[in-house]
Amino acid sequence: MTNEQLIDIVRKFRIEGSVAAVEPLGKGLINDTFLVKTQEADKWDYVLQRINHHIFTDVELLQHNIEAVTNHLRHILQTAGIADVNQRVLRFIPTSTGKTYYVCPPDGGTASAKFLSENSEKNKADCSYWRISIYIADTLTIEEITPQSSYDCGKAFGHFQEQLIDLKEPLGETIPDFHNMELRLSQLRQAVTNDAAGRLKEVSKELELIEAHADEMCLAERLHRQGLLPKRICHCDTKVNNMLFDRNGNVLCIIDLDTVMPAYIFSDYGDFLRTAANSQPEDSPDLDSIEFRWDIFEAFTHGYLESTASFLTPVERKHLPFAVALFPMMQAVRFLTDYLNGDTYYKIQYPEHNLVRTRNQLRYFQEVEACRERMSSLVK
Ligand code: GN1
Ligand code: MG
């Protein structure tokens, strides 16, 4: 896409100021993100995103969820008399029709209203979907996690769940059954049957390890069916880089709200520790360097238990160590499925990338497993 086309898209939104430049931003695996700089010093800069509508197929629902959540959080902050509300919760800018997303026809915008009104699935898939939010300036993201920042993140993600407990507006699942382990396993088994990329022969050890733990890892779904585990509004992508800090290192704002939806609280607790307590990045091939960082786990757990004390049930609390094991296992299943399918979901940088990610997550899972009992004593 040319710069001119990007600027044309920006103009569909009711932003203030005039566009000086549009530059790529961030390194998410799913959406494409740009920073929109405005010329005027006293106007906001903005974040422009192309929503990956092959993954978030219901963009209307996606933006409905995000608006409901950000409006609710903004209301809480305003009621509490907080001054810098636009620094603490994302603010999405509407287009001239009042929607917080813009559907761009494939030719860049001039296509007829007829094209869109035909409304066929094919036409919809050929369009691109865009949204804009205010860019929160002067923030830091944390590259190197410490026990202190881990504790702060535990408090903040727990607080996020707590604030959304009384959200009246019903939210949908932007990716249905996103963290449903039974579904993820059946997708893997389907990928094994299809062997679309001819890679099955390379992964027998990985499959064996996954299958050995498969039943146990579906515990959350069983608890839910027994009525013992509720779904609550969760963030579902609780990576440390989805949290903005101010210059003094205090948590400012939680970002990347695409997967905010009803889920088990395990999602937020377990997925954070999947990345933060792994001493290596999720795609490091250096398996022998992978360690479970107890200090990060302990600090995060303290923060999380503090801010969720008002609502966490004994069943949820007791199974937190299960969640620490579940998420690397689920992520291994998802990476391996994508590897077998021929890399259709995650962005990759080289052909074996998803296999390397799978092996990393499985090794980390084993490191976590070795600490499960000790974790349970701490949580008690
Ligand atoms: C994707 O794009 P990113 O990095 O925020 C994925 C997460 C995975 C993660 C693995 C919608 O998140 O669930 O845990 O990659 N998001 C979606 O790195 O599938
Ligand atoms: Mg994300």
Q: Mark residue 294 as left, alpha or beta (left: phi above 0; alpha: psi -120 to 50; beta: remaining).
A: alpha
Q: Which amino acid, residue 5?
A: Q
Q: Give per-residue pLDDT as tens, 24-75.
A: 998 777 889 999 999 999 999 999 999 999 999 999 999 999 999 999 999 9
Q: In angstroms, rounded to a whole number, what is the distance separating the alpha carbons of residues 233 and 165?
A: 7
114-118, 196-200, 206-210, 278-282: which has the minimum mean pLDDT? 114-118
Cα–ligand 2 centroid distance for 27 (angstroms): 10
Q: Which atom of ligand 1 is nearest to the CA of 56?
A: 11
Mutate which of 27, 29, 50 for ligand 1 pocket (most atoms within 8 A of beta carbon): 29
pLDDT value for 33 = 94
Taking only the tens place, the pLDDT of each residue in 337-354 is: 999 999 999 999 999 999
Beta carbons of 360 and 283 less than 8 angstroms apart: yes
Taking CA atoms only, the protein residue closest to ligand 1 atom 9 is: 29
Angle 266-276/320-341 helices, nearest 10 degrees? 70
Q: Which atom of ligand 1 is nearest to the CA of 331?
A: 14
Q: Confirm whether pTM is higher than 0.85.
A: yes
Determine the atom of ligand 1 nearest the C-alpha atom of 282. Answer: 18
Protein residue closest via CA to atom 17 of ligand 1 = 30
CA of residue 223 to ligand 2 center, whole Å: 27
Distance of CA 257 from the midpoint of ligand 2 (Å)? 8
How many CA atoms within 13 Å lie on the side-chain side of 79? 7
Nearest protein CA to atom 13 of ligand 1, as residue = 237
Helices (H), the chain: 3-10, 59-79, 85-88, 113-118, 121-126, 147-163, 181-194, 204-217, 219-225, 266-276, 294-308, 314-318, 320-341, 353-369, 372-379
Q: What is the pLDDT of residue 121?
A: 75
CB under 8 Å to 201, separation ≥6 — which residues?
none
Sign (positive/negative) of CA torsion 164, 170, 173, 179? positive
For residue 323, pLDDT beyond 90:
yes
Residues with CB under 6 A from ligand 1: 28-30, 55, 237, 256, 259, 282, 331
Is residue 333 exposed (0-12), middle (13-18) or buried (19+ Cβ within 10 Å)? Answer: buried
What is residue 109's predicted lDDT score, i.e. its pLDDT?
A: 56
Nearest-atom number in ligand 1 for the CA of 239 is 5
Nearest atom of ligand 1 to the alpha carbon of 55: 11
